[in-house]
């Protein structure tokens, strides 16, 4: 290792001085300490206590986790909340049928009586958080093995939760920060009666579909409305007819004033996961191992789905959600790889590592980067196969049904009580019914063929499920055709008959060629891949913890923000245009004009509803038009966001709601690993467009009336 001169070290210190305002997902409890001054310099008019306080009601009391992976916020004193259309999608879909197709036509409850219950849907509000690092790491020593360390930490966390005394009113979660160098405990209030209030037609809420997904300029009206109900005394309660609309202490006022370049914006929500402090080897693996395998396999799946969906409107309905799910990751990873390449992300990390090495030489961190290198090199072959196995298992839809059938086989084999078997059969029947509703045999077969083909071409035979050897011998097409013909699972009538008359004869299912393929893949996963995979990932996790700590010691003057971990965070920045490529400038907002430009009844993603077209033609924008006379639809800003921030409130300098976050731009999707202030933008729905739809398109003026609107 070369020694670097003093001047270079000085250089490092100087670079690390400047904190980028737009980059970062900050801890609300620590704004006072680290951020508020800068936020105010950028235009923010409120205090840190206004954002997060445990002494009085504050902005955080209006922000919630919506369902399993989104954010939502309160917009009235009657428990009305807004989140994205794509976050409410599953629940809107559950209420939809051919007669009442709320996905296609939209849904608007014209009175509270018409609001629809959603069993299983929960929202969580943060009541307070606490730094519990000392208690969690109590008695942890440097020389412990990783395993013993984790056992002790788990024990400490459990006793913390037990002694916290907040019993049943709260859900308590402890989360690691900075790769396990810090821990916070969260007290959440969970509400379980959350009813659907309104959703625009998909042609508005999903306008642009997968074609425009991850892209700017964007015209998606991505919002839906729900309402929280509580017991009559205001406490959280399971669904009941006796429940009443929540009376929250806080909700967001909505500003119709309009937005300009340079305006302060803040995003307050639940970013899911980022990896800002990993070494070059991790970026290299993501770019050159994980992403290429995932992209290649999903390209194949999407090609099949697209052709099928275009051939038949029924298949389009059946595969719309599946295609959206597959496509969302696929497109993000393509963007991420391009962004990382453009940033020379690997080289940048390498030069940071060179500095680090020089600084660490002969000290306690000497050799850390080298261990990383060894570990990643050892991991990569397994990581590649693992990625392919996971994508194959998730990609072949029948595997999902096969895995749900596993329980029935186990119970039958072990002579479980008759009752147990009966309930298992019933739950499998209902699962299968839902499954076949969206199943098209030819499509599923073609996807299976193309994924198996990929696997046989790309993965060493040592990691093939046995069935693949046979497939290779007899030919792919013929073998898979036969597999589908013979399989119970692949044929709705056969499988339903089998379940209907089920008398404990599980052998037929256990020998099913598709069940078999599933079992073989699982076997490879468990015995050939997991041990190596888990061993190296465990070492890497512990290296990450040490490297994180070391980076903080090296760059003492830098204020670090922790990686996203689905806890409440504040991002702040400003409304801003960007230059995606040479000579092209993207404005910071889009308008209804752009929706009409895209309008094309032939293209599903761009089929504008007549009612919206009429409103446009009559320029009937009410109080929601911008000063420029146009109906603004979406806007972009430099807030650092990621998956989970969907539905997050976008807040102006006065603390009012101006938008709902729903996406990032394609040029900026590498921000989970490396943020670029020039290129990274979060995409938000302009609140004025959402209210315009509620008011003018749906005529749900009673909802507008309960909001606090500032002009
Ligand atoms: N890209 C956004 C996110 O990651 C929206 C996804 C839903 N929309 C879609 N067209 N698939 O969640
Ligand atoms: N659409 C994403 C979500 O569901 C947000 C986009 C992003 O990853 O930034 O959370």
Query: How large is the average pLDDT for residues 405-432?
Result: 95
- pLDDT averaged over the chain? 95
Residue 615 vs residue 3, higher pLDDT? 615
Which residues fall within 8 angstroms of residue 62, CB to CB, at 6 or more apart? 73, 74, 248, 250, 251, 252, 649
| Alpha-carbon gap, residue 286 to 279, rounded angstroms | 11
Q: Whose CA is nearest to atom 3 of ligand 1?
A: 663
pTM, two decimals, is 0.94
Cα(328) to centroid(ligand 1), Å: 6
Q: Of 510, 485, 314, 319, nearest to 410 (Cα)?
A: 510
Q: Evaluate whether residue 194 is within a structural domain.
A: no
Task: Please list every protein residue whose CB sits less than 6 Å from any atom of ligand 2.
Answer: 641-646, 662-664
Is the per-residue pLDDT at 675 higher than 70? yes
Residue 521 resides in a domain = yes
Residue 9, pLDDT > 50, answer: no
Residue 270 and residue 65: Cα distance in Å, rounded? 7
Query: What residue's CA is closest to ligand 2, atom 8?
Result: 643
The pLDDT value given to residue 313: 86
What is the dihedral sign for C-alpha 685, 687, 691, 692? negative
The catalytic residue among 76, 479, 646, 648 is: 646
Instruction: Give yes or no for residue 164 having a pLDDT over 90.
Output: no
- Nearest ligand to the C-alpha atom of residue 641: 2
Ligand 1 site residues, Cβ closer than 6 angstroms? 86, 209-210, 213-214, 324, 327-328, 643, 646, 663
Taking the CA of 683 as reference, the closest ligand is 2
Cα 651 to averaged position of ligand 2 atoms, centre (Å): 17
pLDDT of residue 231: 97
User: Please, which pLDDT band fits residue 166 given cuts at 50, 70 and 90?
Assistant: low
pLDDT above 50: residue 649 = yes
Q: Is residue 182 part of a domain?
A: no
232 is written with which tokens?
A: 């009559």
What are the pLDDT digits (tens) for 329-379?
Answer: 999 999 999 999 999 999 999 999 999 999 999 999 999 999 999 999 999
Residue nearest to atom 9 of ligand 2 (CA): 642
Note whether 573 and 22 are within 8 A (CB). Answer: yes
HSE of 275, CA atoms in CB hemisphere, 13 A:
15
Nearest residue (CA) to ligand 2, atom 1 = 663
Q: Is residue 327 part of a domain?
A: yes
The reported pLDDT for the residue numbered 34 is: 96
Structure token pair of residue 695: 């008011």
pLDDT at position 99 is 84
Quick one: which ligand is closest to 326's CA? 1
For residue 630, what is the DSSP state? S
Residue 305 lies in a domain: yes
Q: How far is the CA of 113 from the centre of ligand 2 (A)?
A: 32
Residue 522 sits in which domain range? Answer: 280-353+364-539
Whether the predicted pLDDT of 17 surpasses 50: no
525-549 pLDDT, tens digit each? 999 999 999 999 999 999 999 999 9
Question: Which of 663, 675, 683 maximizes ligand 2 atoms within 8 Å of its Cβ, making it the mutation to test the pocket?
Answer: 663
What element of type H or E holds 201?
Answer: none
pLDDT at position 2 is 38
**Position 13 pLDDT exceeds 90:** no
End-to-end C-alpha distance for the chain, whole angstroms: 63
Q: Ligand 2: which atom is nearest the Cα of residue 646? A: 10
Catalytic residue of the set 86, 179, 536, 640:
86
Nearest CA to ligand 1 atom 7: 86
- Cite the beta strand spans of 395-546 per DSSP E: none
Position 49 in a domain: no
Query: 121 near 711, Cβ under 8 Å?
Result: no
Work out the burial of residue 228: count CB atoms within 10 Å of its CB; fewer than 13 is exposed, 13-18 middle, 19 or more buried.
buried
CA of 100 to the centre of ligand 2 (A): 29
* DSSP, residue by residue, 100-153: S-HHHH-EE-SSGGG-EE-TT--EEEEEEEEE-HHHHTTT--TTS-HHHHHHHH
Residue 646 annotated among the catalytic residues of the structure: yes
Distance 246 CA to ligand 1 centre (A): 30
Q: What is the pLDDT of residue 16?
A: 41
Which of 22, 193, 222, 563 does the annotation list as catalytic?
Answer: 222
Write out the two tokens for 390.
């996971």
- Ligand 1 nearest-atom number relative to CA 643: 4
Smallest CA-to-CA distance from 192 within 108, 117, 128 is with 117
**Residue 424 lies inside a defined structural domain of this protein:** yes
- CA nearest ligand 2 atom 6, residue: 663
Ligand 1 centroid, distance to 90 Cα (angstroms): 13
| Ligand in closest contact with the CA of 267 | 2
Upstream peptide bond of 670 is cis (omega within 30 degrees of 0): no
For ligand 1, the distance from its centroid to the CA atom of residue 322, given in whole angstroms, is: 12
Query: Do β-strands 254-255 and 709-710 pair in parallel, antiparallel, or remain unpaired?
Result: parallel
Establish whether 86 is a catalytic residue: yes
The C-alpha torsion from 103 through 104 and 108 to 114, rounded to 10°, is -60
- Ligand 1 pocket mutation pick from 213, 215, 333 by most atoms within 8 angstroms of CB: 213
What is the pLDDT, as a whole number, of residue 1? 36
pLDDT value for 636: 98
Could you write out the three-class secondary structure of 44-55?
CCCCHHHHCCCC
- CB neighbours of residue 341 within 10 Å: 12
Q: State the distance from the centre of ligand 1 to the C-alpha of 638, rounded, in angstroms.
A: 19
Confidence band for 3, pLDDT divided at 50, 70 and 90: very low
The atom number, within ligand 2, closest to the CA of 328 reads: 1
3-state class of 706 per DSSP? helix
Which residue has the least CA distance to atom 2 on ligand 2?
A: 643
Whose C-alpha lies nearest to ligand 1, atom 6?
328
Give domain status of residue 103, yes or no. Answer: no
Describe the chain by its helix, strand, coil percentages, rounded to 5: 50, 15, 35
On the question of pLDDT at 324 being above 50, the answer is: yes
Tell me how many domains the chain contains: 1
């Amino acid at each position: 290792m070369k020694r670097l001169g003093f001047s270079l070290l000085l250089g490092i210190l100087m670079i690390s001085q400047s904190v980028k305002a737009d980059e970062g997902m900050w801890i609300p409890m620590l704004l006072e300490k680290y951020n508020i001054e800068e936020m105010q310099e950028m235009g923010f008019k409120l205090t840190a206590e206004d954002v997060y306080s445990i002494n009085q009601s504050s902005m955080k009391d209006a922000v919630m986790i919506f369902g399993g992976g989104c954010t939502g916020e309160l917009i009235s004193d009657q428990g009305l909340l807004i989140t994205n259309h794509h976050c409410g999608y599953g629940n809107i879909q559950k209420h939809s049928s051919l007669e009442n197709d709320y996905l296609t036509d939209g849904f608007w409850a014209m009175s509270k009586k018409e609001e629809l219950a959603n069993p299983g849907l929960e929202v969580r509000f943060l009541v307070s958080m606490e730094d519990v690092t000392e208690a969690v790491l109590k008695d942890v020593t440097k020389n412990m093995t990783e395993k013993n360390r984790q056992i002790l930490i788990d024990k400490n966390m459990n006793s913390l939760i037990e002694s916290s005394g907040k019993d049943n009113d709260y859900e308590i979660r402890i989360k690691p920060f900075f790769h396990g160098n810090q821990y916070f405990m969260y007290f959440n209030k969970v509400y379980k009666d959350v009813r659907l209030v309104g959703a625009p037609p998909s042609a508005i809420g999903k306008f642009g579909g997968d074609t425009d997904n991850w892209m700017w300029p964007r015209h998606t009206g991505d919002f839906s409305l729900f309402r929280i109900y509580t017991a009559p005394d205001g406490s959280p309660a399971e669904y009941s007819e006796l429940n009443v609309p929540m009376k929250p202490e806080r909700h967001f006022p909505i500003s119709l004033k309009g937005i300009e370049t340079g305006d302060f914006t803040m995003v307050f929500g639940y970013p899911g996961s980022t990896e800002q402090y990993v070494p070059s080897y991790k970026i290299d693996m993501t770019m050159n191992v994980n992403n290429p395998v995932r992209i290649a396999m999903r390209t194949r799946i999407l090609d099949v789905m697209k052709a099928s969906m275009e051939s038949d409107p029924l298949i389009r309905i059946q595969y719309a959600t599946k295609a959206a799910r597959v496509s969302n990751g696929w497109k993000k990873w393509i963007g991420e790889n391009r962004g990382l390449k453009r940033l020379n992300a690997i080289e940048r990390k390498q030069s940071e590592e060179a500095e680090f090495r020089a600084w660490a030489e002969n000290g306690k961190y000497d050799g850390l980067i080298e261990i990383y290198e060894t570990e990643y090199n050892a991991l990569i072959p397994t990581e590649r196969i693992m990625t392919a196995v996971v994508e194959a298992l998730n990609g072949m839809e029948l595997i999902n049904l096969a895995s749900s059938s596993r329980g029935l086989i186990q119970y039958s084999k072990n002579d479980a009580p008759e009752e147990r078997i009966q309930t298992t059969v019933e739950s499998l029947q209902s699962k299968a019914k839902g499954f076949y509703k969206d199943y098209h045999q030819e499509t599923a077969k073609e996807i299976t063929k193309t994924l198996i083909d990929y696997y046989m071409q790309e993965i060493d035979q040592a990691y093939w499920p046995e069935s693949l050897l046979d497939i290779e011998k007899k030919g792919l097409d013929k073998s898979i055709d036969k597999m589908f013909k013979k399989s119970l699972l692949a044929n709705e009538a056969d499988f339903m008959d089998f379940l209907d008359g089920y008398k404990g004869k599980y052998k037929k299912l256990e020998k099913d060629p598709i069940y078999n393929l599933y079992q073989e893949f699982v076997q490879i996963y468990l015995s050939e891949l997991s041990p190596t995979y888990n061993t190296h990932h465990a070492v890497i996790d512990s290296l990450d913890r040490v490297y994180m700590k070391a980076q903080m010691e090296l760059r003492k003057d830098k204020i670090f923000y922790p990686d996203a971990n689905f806890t409440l965070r504040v991002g702040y920045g400003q409304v801003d245009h960007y230059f995606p490529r040479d000579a092209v400038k993207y404005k910071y907002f889009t308008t209804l004009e752009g929706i009409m430009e895209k309008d094309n009844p032939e293209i599903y993603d761009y089929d504008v509803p007549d009612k919206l077209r009429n409103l446009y033609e009559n320029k009937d924008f009410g109080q929601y038009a911008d000063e420029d006379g146009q109906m603004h639809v979406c806007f972009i800003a430099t807030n650092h966001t990621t998956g989970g921030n969907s539905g997050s409130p976008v807040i102006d300098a006065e603390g009012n709601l101006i938008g709902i976050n729903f996406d990032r731009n394609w040029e900026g999707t590498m921000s989970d690993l490396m943020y670029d202030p020039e290129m990274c933008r979060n995409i938000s729905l302009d609140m004025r467009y959402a209210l315009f739809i509620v008011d003018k398109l749906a005529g749900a003026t009673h909802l507008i009336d309960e909001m606090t609107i500032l002009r």
